[in-house]
Structure 1
Amino acid sequence: MTARYGEQVLGSALLVPVVRWGDDRTLPGETTLERDEELLDRLPAADRELFGYVMARLDKPRWELFERYVLPGWWAHDEAAAAELETDFLLPHWPEHQAPAHHGRHLLVATRQDALVGWRDQLALLDHYPRMAATVLDAAGHNPQVECAETVRGLVGHWLDGIARPY
C-alpha cells in the first residue's frame, strides 16, 4: 500500500506479517514452551495440529483462547477462495525495493516462537520505514493478539495515538 499510494497512507500496523516465503524465510525451530499432554490427547487431531503449529504454549488457558478466537474463523473460512488467494498471495519482489522510504507511523509485531512466518526477516522492514516501531514478543506463536492480548492492545493503542497526532 505504501509503495503504491505513498504519503496518502498515514501508516500501517503489521501483525506477524509474511515478509518472505518458501526457502527464503529465516524461521525459528518449532518451539513449544508448555505442553499439556492430557488436554492434547482429548482434542480432535486437526484442532490439535493447528493449535500446536500456531501457539507457543499448549495448555488449557491458551486452548480456551484459541478455541474462542482462532478456531471459529479457521473452520468458517472459504477454502476455495483461500486457495485462489494463495495463488497470488506472494508478490514477485518486495514493493519497498522500488519505492522511497515511507515516513508514516508504522508498527511491526513479530514473535520469537512463530514457526509460520518467523521474526528475523520482518526486521528488514525497519530500513524502509524509519518511523516504524518494532516489537518481537517472546512466549507467543503466530497469534500474539490471542497469546499476548494486553500487550498487543497496548502497542496498537500507542500506534493509533501516533497516527492521530503525528510528530
Structure 2
Amino acid sequence: MTDSESILSTHEIGDGLPILIIHGWQMDTRVEELDFEPIFSKLPGFRRIYVDLPGMGATPANNVKDLDDIYHRLVQFIDSRLGTSRFLLVGSSCGGYLARAIAQKYSEQVDGLLLRVPIIEPRDSARDLDAFRPLVEDKGIISSMSDQDRALLGNILIQTPAYIQALKAKYEGVYLPAEDSSDAKVLDPIRADPQRYQLSFSLDEGAKFLAPTLVVCGRQDESVGYRDSLRLLGLYPRSTYIVLDRGTHGLPIDETGVFEALVRDWIFRVNEWRARLEI
C-alpha cells in the first residue's frame, strides 16, 4: 500500500485527549458530528478526530476489497497520526464493529470505548432481529405524507409530526449526502459478500477490554437489533449496556437528552479511570 492509499480524510475539532470517531457503512464524518458535537463541544479537553473510511466521505476507496482492508487502513492511520498516545474510541454501526477491533489491538492505549448500535454479527442472515411494529401508530399522518417522503423514511417507529420532522431532517441533512458521496461501485460488492463484509479474526476471543465502555442499542433497531450485543457484557467488565426504547438504528432521533446523559456519564467514568492510572 502506498502512502497516498493509507491517508484517511479527517475533520478535527478541539484540543486535548484524542477521541477517534468512526462512522457507519456508507456514512461519513457529518453523521457523527451531528450527534456528538452538541455533546463534546460542551466538554473541554478533548480533540475529536472524525475520520472518513475508504470510499466514504472525502476518502477515496483506493483498492479496498473487504473490511480487513478498511481495518488495516485504520491501523495505519492510528500508527501514523496517534503513535503511542492514549486515546478514546467511538464507533457507530459498522464503525462500532471496527472500533471493537481497534480496541482489541490497542488495548493498552485506549482509555474508553463507546459503541453506538454496533454491528455484532456482520452476516445479515444471522442477526437476531424483531419484526417492525410502530410504537405510536397514526395512519392518518402516514397517508398524508408524500410518496417521496414515505420512500425516503421507510418504516417510521413514532408516527407523530415532530418525530417525522426530526427523522426527515436527519435523512436530508446527513444520511442522503453521505450515501450519495460514497463509492458504491467499490462498497456495494463488499457489502453484498458475507465473506468480505466481516473481519477475518474473532473479536470475542483473547483478553477482556478493561477500560470504561458504553454500549447503546436501540430496542427497535431493525438493522442490527440488540440481543446479539448482550454478549459484550462478558467481554467488557467496565461496561454500561443500554437498550433504549424508541431507539432505532439511527438513534438518537428525538431522545437526544438521554443520549447526551449517557455520553457524559461515559466521559465521567473515563476521567475517573485515567486519574487512577496516573496515581
1:6 and 2:114 correspond: no
1:160 and 2:267 correspond: yes
- Cα shift readout 1:77-133 (whole Å, capped 9, x = no counterpart): 244425634515432453232x31010111001121111110000111111111010
SS in 2 for 1:109: strand
Q: Judging changes above 3 Å, is the alpha-carbon distance between structure 1 residues 17 and 49 closer, same or farther for their aligned structure 2 residues?
A: farther
The alpha carbon displacement at 1:26 in A equals 0.4
- For residue 51 of structure 1, the aligned residue among 121, 131, 153 is 153
Residue 62 (structure 1) aligns with: 163
Can you give the 5+ residue segments of structure 2 that lack an aligned partner in the other structure?
1-101, 191-195
Residue 118 (structure 1) aligns with: 225
Counterpart residue identity of residue 96, structure 1: D
**Alignment check: 8 A CA contact 1:36 1:60 kept:** no
CA distance in 1, matches of 2:185, 2:233: 31
Q: Which has the higher helix share?
A: 1
- Cα shift readout 1:42-89 (whole Å, capped 9, x = no counterpart): 434454245343x52122111111122233212212444256345154
Can you give the 5+ residue segments of structure 1 that lack an aligned partner in the other structure?
none
- For residue 177 of structure 2, the aligned residue among 76, 82, 93 is 76
SS in 1 for 2:108: helix
Q: Judging changes above 3 Å, is the alpha-carbon distance between structure 1 residues 42 and 75 closer, same or farther for their aligned structure 2 residues?
A: farther
**Alignment check: 8 A CA contact 2:138 2:160 kept:** yes
Q: Judging changes above 3 Å, is the alpha-carbon distance between structure 1 residues 94 and 28 closer, same or farther for their aligned structure 2 residues?
A: farther
Moved more, 104-113 or 139-148: 139-148
Normalising by structure 2, we get a TM-score of 0.54
Counting matched residue pairs gives 165
SS in 2 for 1:90: coil
1:37 and 2:145 correspond: no
Counterpart residue identity of residue 168, structure 2: E
Residue 137 (structure 1) aligns with: 244
Counterpart residue identity of residue 107, structure 2: G
CA distance in 2, matches of 1:91, 1:43: 41
Counterpart residue identity of residue 31, structure 1: R
Q: Judging changes above 3 Å, is the alpha-carbon distance between structure 1 residues 39 and 85 closer, same or farther for their aligned structure 2 residues?
A: same
CA distance in 2, matches of 1:43, 1:89: 35
CA distance in 2, matches of 1:110, 1:64: 22
Q: Judging changes above 3 Å, is the alpha-carbon distance between structure 1 residues 7 and 142 closer, same or farther for their aligned structure 2 residues?
A: same
Counterpart residue identity of residue 137, structure 2: R
Q: Which has the higher contact order (CA 8 A, sep 6+)?
A: 1
Normalising by structure 1, we get a TM-score of 0.86
Larger radius of gyration: 2
SS in 1 for 2:210: coil
SS in 1 for 2:207: coil
Q: Judging changes above 3 Å, is the alpha-carbon distance between structure 1 residues 82 and 7 closer, same or farther for their aligned structure 2 residues?
A: farther
CA distance in 2, matches of 1:51, 1:103: 39
